[in-house]
Structure 1
Amino acid sequence: MKIKELINEMEYEILAGSEETEITTLVYDSRKVEKGSVFVCISGSVRDAHEFIPDVAAKGAAAIVVEKDVTPIDGITYIKVEDSRLALACMSAAYFGHPAKKLKTIGITGTKGKTTTTYMVRSILESAGIKTGLIGTIESIVGSERIPSANTTPESYRVQELFAKMVDAGLDAVVMEVSSQALMLHRVSGFVFDIGVFTNLEPDHIGENEHKDFADYMHCKSLLFQQCRHGIFNGDSEHLQGILQGHTCTVETFGYGAENDLIAQKVELKKEHGALGVKYHVGGSMDFDVEVNVPGKFSVYNSLTAIAICHHFGVSVEEIKKAMLHVSVKGRIEIVPVTKRYTLMIDYAHNAMALESLLTTLKEYEPGRLVCLFGCGGNRAKSRRYEMGEVSSKLADLTVVTSDNPRNEEPMDIINDILVGVHKADGAYVTIPDRKEAIRYCMEHAEDGDIIVLAGKGHEDYQEIKGVKHHMDERELIADIIRENTDLKL
């Protein structure tokens, strides 16, 4: 493969060598350079890859892509670009044969709802016979293969590599979470989405190494709608006009408001035999009743988004209704069937905003008691501990404070910080540092009609202590507790 085949759709300047240079692999990690590689220098927040040019030259790199002025080393082709992250995205797309052109691509952005909505979309499309891949916070799914994720949206090279695997596996479509960081860092550049989706926007990811302010965060989210053909937007969002700024796509909206294209009407909460959900009428451009076995009015938004997307794939109303009854997302308001006496669920809420949203939603179901079990991660901002403690004490009838990922801190030090927040409100609480014993306590002391939330771990299947990740899956802990006391299933 000649280097010109990877760069023919981007702006560049040849500093040395020739675009006819033969290359073997495309690499952005200097440790993976081999003879004949083209190495793309990324200016990262921790290290600047331009520093590794002598190393990759010594390893036999045939070409190097830079965004800074450098002194060329003889025998190597140097290509200068304005933005090496954008270059990597465009080159990766070409390197893997532009796989996005062979798939229907759906990108979902927003502060909340991305993960749940991607799983809903995949569930509906798959049930309709449309083979669909997924890229997101929890995992990437390619056919029957599930690959744990490190980021919400991986680096552009990995995105294109996954797309290529999906094409090879015979998939028809892919639905992916698109973070603001991914848009800012060009991880999803180099192709055009068929459908872009905006769920909602709240202040988040603002600070050092993220977004300088809310305006920057909103701007980055809006970039998706300058690289998609059709946009589907939460028409109820107060930030809709900001997200639409500069859009080049066609526009469709959903929400509760009568001015939307797809409208949620006659919304009811559903509570029966330990299961929670919602049911509502889909009005506007469609006309049918739907039930979703995921609690909370925000699941109305998530499901309405999924319905809007799948309508563009020609999925029948019956297929949509059937799929919605069976949607479940690991660690996102995931109800664990134990007994009909009370509801036990696992959720990833791991900051005050998410916990407040979750508990407020669950209170609408008027539980006998709302019990909230959580801990906080070690080596993270102490303010999160105070805030989560106060939120739980204010909204839950009983707060069970336990361990999360203590990392290099002492669990009781973290618990004591949480209790500072707990004491700012007047909710009852207990402290049980061992997470399994804390879950056991909740189950053994459950009362009829309780809703018990195990918050913070969600999809995670480990507990990090002193730099070591120990296997710990809350679903397995619940199963162990039931095996040890079968009366808990009554």
Structure 2
Amino acid sequence: MYGKMVLTQDVSIHSIQYDSRKVGHGDLFVAIAGTAADGHAFVESAIDRGAVAVVMQNDQALPDPFFQHAGVVKIVVPDSRKALARMSANFYGHPSRKLRLIGVTGTNGKTTTTHLIRSILEADGMKVGLIGTIGYMIGEESLPATHTTPESLELNELLAHMVSKGCTAAVMEVSSHSLALSRVFGLEFSGACVTNLTQDHLDFHGTMDEYFNAKRVLFERLSSEACAVSNADDPYGAKMLEGTAARKLTYSRLGPADVQAHDVRMSVAGMKLAVAYKGKTQEIESRLTGRFNVENILAAYTTGLGLGIAADRLRTGIFRLPAVRGRFEQIVSPAGWTAVIDYAHTPDALEKCLRTIRDLLPTEKPGRIITVFGCGGNRDRGKRPKMGRIASELSDITVVTSDNPRKELPGAIIDEVMAGVQKGTAVHREEDRRAAIGKALAMARPGDVVLIAGKGHEDYQVIGEQKHHFDDREEVENIVRKMK
């Protein structure tokens, strides 16, 4: 980092802030461009609140004499987001160097894979921190999540807190947004894993190539001592590892790879599979089910191998993990139908979830699949008709509803979903998500499976800019409770 110092004397920094509203006396303010506002517009406000130094990349935001008169250090950098990440790491004593830090990226499967890796590391005797979509964990202590991957300042503070609490390892979901916005810049990873890459977040990245390039950054920054793990079944898997200095390992459910799955036996209660590596085969048992979870188990197992974890600890860690909240979570009703609550909110995830349910239905007298789902407002519109097609093709009955409409009209979003629906299929539309769930469950018969997709662990519905409490699981449980 370089800077043009308008004031030459040294100043003591109390803390670092990038939100001008949080600045106090003696703080350093870093002006970064956010999604809703540009921090450069709030430099004067930060100084009024007591900032003694400002880091910025827009040298023209305020003239030098303003800083001279205020007695404030002005530092101009080429990239204030990267500067924030570097300073945050330094301010908190580079906590990533004191942990075995593992990053998991990909469109689908990040949450389950990080939980599996955490369970494996705990089986190996480590105290492990976790950062992800559902929440943050420090050992058994739970904290609410603000983002899948926090801003670099909070991220380094969280990692430092993990170190202070005795953690020796941390596993984190690394979102494409966090990579594009340099939130993980400067962190030193011991390992990284990519689960898959399918359409999502194109409202932010624009194209699949840009989405891929954002993800690849995680692997380009790995050292030769780290391990890099990718899914050989994914078209982007091999490309993701090009240019990395790390040791490479691949896994596959379908074909050649370093780690391969064989003889997969699934049931509603879980699965058993054989995992082959370097001529040796190990029997693995898990309480997770579904083809997509075979991939998640392989991703975690292969990452564990790359970290040098013994085979018996890998097996134990995988077996110990129960179902992850909002990930193929099942509720069985007294009437004989089963509700499955899943976070599937992309075309690929929805298809895999529906195919898994079909696989698990009995071959003789199978029940029907009833799917309830919607698409998020002010997000990638291109996936809406695709998800409509997938749901209508793979379900017996589909109910299209709302899922965080934000500032869009729910009916307009549903119209775009309906554009992909296959003609002649049983599809209903119901803007009210509570009513949609009620309608689907009212139609369910013994043996049917009702998939409620898109929210998973989320306990809110975003309408406009407001979050309203809404939990798919609570809705189902309320209906089941009335049946008893």
- Which secondary structure does the structure 2 equivalent of 1:200 belong to? coil
Q: For the residues of structure 1 that align with 2:188 and 2:429, how far apart are their CA atoms? A: 51
Worse-superposed segment, 138-147 or 176-185? 138-147
Closer, same or farther in 2 for the Cα pair 1:356/1:240, shift >3 Å? Answer: closer
Partner amino acid, structure 2, of 1:231: A
TM-score by length of 1: 0.86
Closer, same or farther in 2 for the Cα pair 1:97/1:466, shift >3 Å? Answer: closer
Q: Is the 8 A contact 1:394 1:426 kept in 2?
A: no
2:173 corresponding residue in structure 1: 177
Q: For the residues of structure 1 that align with 2:463 and 2:49, how far apart are their CA atoms? A: 38
- Show structure 2 runs of 5+ residues with no match: none
Closer, same or farther in 2 for the Cα pair 1:266/1:339, shift >3 Å? Answer: farther
For 1:115-264, list aligned pairs within 5 A. 115-207=111-203, 210-228=204-222, 229-256=226-253, 259-264=256-261
Worse-superposed segment, 45-54 or 80-89? 45-54
- Which secondary structure does the structure 2 equivalent of 1:220 belong to? helix
- Show structure 1 runs of 5+ residues with no match: 1-10
Partner amino acid, structure 2, of 1:37: D
Q: CA deviation at 1:282?
A: 0.6
For 1:274-423, list aligned pairs within 5 A. 275=268, 277-285=270-278, 287-311=281-305, 312=307, 314-317=309-312, 320-321=315-316, 323-324=318-319, 326-338=321-333, 341-366=336-361, 367-377=366-376, 385-407=384-406, 418-419=417-418, 421-422=420-421
- 1:359-385 per-residue CA deviation (whole Å, 9 max, x = no partner) reads 233223344211112234456676655
Match status 1:106 vs 2:102: yes
Match status 1:13 vs 2:3: yes
Partner amino acid, structure 2, of 1:238: P
Partner amino acid, structure 2, of 1:470: H
Q: For the residues of structure 2 that align with 1:48 and 1:403, how far apart are their CA atoms? A: 31
Aligned length: 469
- 1:439-459 per-residue CA deviation (whole Å, 9 max, x = no partner) reads 344445433432221112211
Worse-superposed segment, 119-128 or 407-416? 407-416
- 1:456-485 per-residue CA deviation (whole Å, 9 max, x = no partner) reads 221111234465433222222222222211
Partner amino acid, structure 1, of 2:271: V
Partner amino acid, structure 2, of 1:280: L
Q: For the residues of structure 1 that align with 2:380 and 2:124, how far apart are their CA atoms? A: 45
Q: For the residues of structure 2 that align with 1:386 and 1:239, how far apart are their CA atoms? A: 23
Q: For the residues of structure 2 that align with 1:199 and 1:35, how far apart are their CA atoms? A: 44
Q: Is the 8 A contact 1:278 1:297 kept in 2?
A: no
Q: CA deviation at 1:279?
A: 2.5
Q: CA deviation at 1:12?
A: 1.1
Closer, same or farther in 2 for the Cα pair 1:13/1:458, shift >3 Å? Answer: same
Q: Is the 8 A contact 1:219 1:242 kept in 2?
A: no
Q: Is the 8 A contact 2:116 2:317 kept in 1?
A: no
Which runs of structure 1 show a deviation greater than 6 angstroms over 4 or more consecutive aligned residues? none
TM-score by length of 2: 0.87
Q: For the residues of structure 2 that align with 1:241 and 1:464, how far apart are their CA atoms? A: 37
Q: CA deviation at 1:415?
A: 5.2
Q: For the residues of structure 2 that align with 1:258 and 1:417, how far apart are their CA atoms? A: 36
Q: CA deviation at 1:296?
A: 2.4
- 2:79 corresponds, among 80, 83, 92, to 83
Worse-superposed segment, 310-319 or 50-59? 310-319
Q: For the residues of structure 2 that align with 1:284 and 1:406, how far apart are their CA atoms? A: 46
Worse-superposed segment, 220-229 or 401-410? 401-410
Match status 1:42 vs 2:41: no
Q: For the residues of structure 2 that align with 1:466 and 1:157, how far apart are their CA atoms? A: 28
Q: For the residues of structure 2 that align with 1:384 and 1:338, how far apart are their CA atoms? A: 32
- 1:356-415 per-residue CA deviation (whole Å, 9 max, x = no partner) reads 332233223344211112234456676655443332222101113444445566666655
- 1:161-204 per-residue CA deviation (whole Å, 9 max, x = no partner) reads 11011112222211001122212221111221011112122243
1:68 corresponding residue in structure 2: 58
Closer, same or farther in 2 for the Cα pair 1:76/1:480, shift >3 Å? Answer: same
1:26 corresponding residue in structure 2: 16
- Which secondary structure does the structure 1 equivalent of 2:202 belong to? coil
Q: For the residues of structure 2 that align with 1:194 and 1:380, how far apart are their CA atoms? A: 33
- Which secondary structure does the structure 2 equivalent of 1:470 belong to? strand
Q: CA deviation at 1:59?
A: 2.6
Give identity over the alignment, percent: 40
Worse-superposed segment, 252-261 or 404-413? 404-413
Q: For the residues of structure 1 that align with 2:9 and 2:262, how far apart are their CA atoms? A: 59
Closer, same or farther in 2 for the Cα pair 1:410/1:109, shift >3 Å? Answer: closer
- 1:477 corresponds, among 471, 475, 478, to 475
Closer, same or farther in 2 for the Cα pair 1:417/1:20, shift >3 Å? Answer: closer
Q: CA deviation at 1:99?
A: 1.3
Worse-superposed segment, 144-153 or 436-445? 436-445
Q: CA deviation at 1:65?
A: 1.2
CA RMSD of aligned residues (A): 2.8
- Which secondary structure does the structure 2 equivalent of 1:192 belong to? coil
Q: CA deviation at 1:417?
A: 5.8
- Which secondary structure does the structure 2 equivalent of 1:52 belong to? helix
Q: Is the 8 A contact 2:461 2:468 kept in 1?
A: yes
- Which secondary structure does the structure 2 equivalent of 1:35 belong to? coil
